[in-house]
């Protein structure tokens, strides 16, 4: 069988779809293929016979201990490379670069579309209740109505916490706690009320045509019901949910941000004093 010459092998490797570079143990470049030149948009003399220590900083970063995924930025264009590095028996290294620009762009586009979808959805995946986006959409027209006609409007923000758990336990049980709290809230609401999971362990109750005194009565009832909840934990342990409520009512000049900020301040006050309910206006 006719043997393939070294020149023929090098010519074949120059046309390979993978960029290749060989370096000795001291970081001197022994050989590279033309594919790598095209990937890095450089001329052969910028690498041939050079030491990696002599290279410009941006080029040395690509060739000396490079990360697995490399982003190359030039003007408005971007290129992503995947690098695989292997040690050789003589102490040198062989590095292979695969252009993954198309795959990376598709991945980024997928992530963008997934984020867009999250922005469009109006349901919390854990409880099935309206999510933060839907709650804010429902709150704005009610504030506008109160601003125009003076109708009473009250809000309750409820924070439901599982106490005394380490982070691993909390991750295992918090979604079950949120689901149980969400079911309880649905049972207490009127048809005109809007309830949903606002963020993490926090729920928002939007109560049209509800004065402050009725809101406090409802919050006290909800807190009592939540404190009575029992969730099964590790080794027969019973987990308890601790509620903290912030209450507020619409006043002239209020917008959604002002009302929500008062709720957050009131929850912080309730936690600081160890009481389940804090109200302001």
Q: What is the mean pLDDT of residues 121-133?
A: 92
Q: What is the mean pLDDT of residues 124-133?
A: 93
Cβ neighbourhood burial of 7 (10 Å; 0-12, 13-18, 19+): exposed
Q: Residues 9-45, buried b or exposed e (16+ Cβ, 10 A)?
A: eeeeeeeeeebbbebeeebebeebbbbbbebbeeeee
Residue 281 clears pLDDT 60, i.e. is over it: no
Backbone angle region of 64, left / alpha / beta, with phi > 0 → left and psi within -120 to 50 → alpha: beta
Cβ neighbourhood burial of 79 (10 Å; 0-12, 13-18, 19+): middle
pTM, two decimal places: 0.62
Q: What is the mean pLDDT of residues 53-70?
A: 90
Domains of the chain with bracketed CATH: 6-104 (3.30.450.20), 121-280 (3.30.70.270)
Q: Could you give the CA distance from residue 205 to residue 155 in angstroms, rounded to a whole number? A: 6
Q: What is the mean pLDDT of residues 107-113?
A: 92
Q: Could you give the CA distance from residue 175 to residue 31 in angstroms, rounded to a whole number? A: 56
Over the chain, what is the mean pLDDT? 91
162-198 pLDDT tens trace: 877 777 888 889 999 999 999 999 998 888 999 999 9
Confidence bin at 115 (pLDDT 50/70/90): confident
């Amino acid at each position: 069988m006719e043997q393939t010459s070294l020149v023929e092998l090098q010519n074949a490797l120059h046309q390979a779809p993978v960029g290749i570079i060989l370096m000795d143990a001291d970081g001197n470049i022994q050989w590279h293929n033309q594919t790598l030149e095209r990937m890095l948009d450089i001329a052969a003399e910028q690498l041939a016979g050079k030491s990696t220590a002599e290279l410009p900083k941006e080029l040395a970063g690509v060739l000396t201990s490079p990360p697995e995924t490399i982003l190359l930025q030039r003007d408005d264009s971007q290129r992503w490379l995947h690098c695989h590095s292997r040690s050789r028996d003589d102490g040198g290294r062989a590095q292979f670069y695969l252009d993954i620009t198309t795959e990376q762009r598709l991945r980024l586009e997928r992530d963008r579309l997934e984020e867009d979808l999250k922005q469009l959805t109006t349901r919390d995946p854990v409880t099935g209740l309206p999510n933060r986006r839907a709650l804010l959409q429902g709150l704005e027209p009610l504030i506008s109505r109160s601003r125009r006609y003076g109708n009473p409007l009250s809000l309750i923000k409820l924070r439901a916490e599982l106490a005394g758990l380490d982070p691993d336990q909390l991750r295992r049980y918090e979604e079950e706690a949120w689901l149980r709290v969400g079911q309880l809230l649905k049972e207490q609401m009127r048809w005109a009320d809007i309830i949903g999971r606002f963020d993490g362990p926090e729920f928002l109750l939007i109560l049209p045509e509800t004065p402050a005194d009725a809101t406090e009565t409802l919050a006290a009832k909800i807190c009592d019901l939540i404190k009575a909840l029992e969730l099964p934990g590790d080794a027969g342990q019973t987990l308890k949910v601790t509620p903290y409520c912030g209450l507020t009512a619409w006043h002239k000049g209020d917008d959604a941000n002002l009302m929500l900020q008062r709720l957050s301040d009131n929850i912080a006050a309730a936690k600081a004093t160890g009481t389940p309910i804090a109200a302001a206006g």
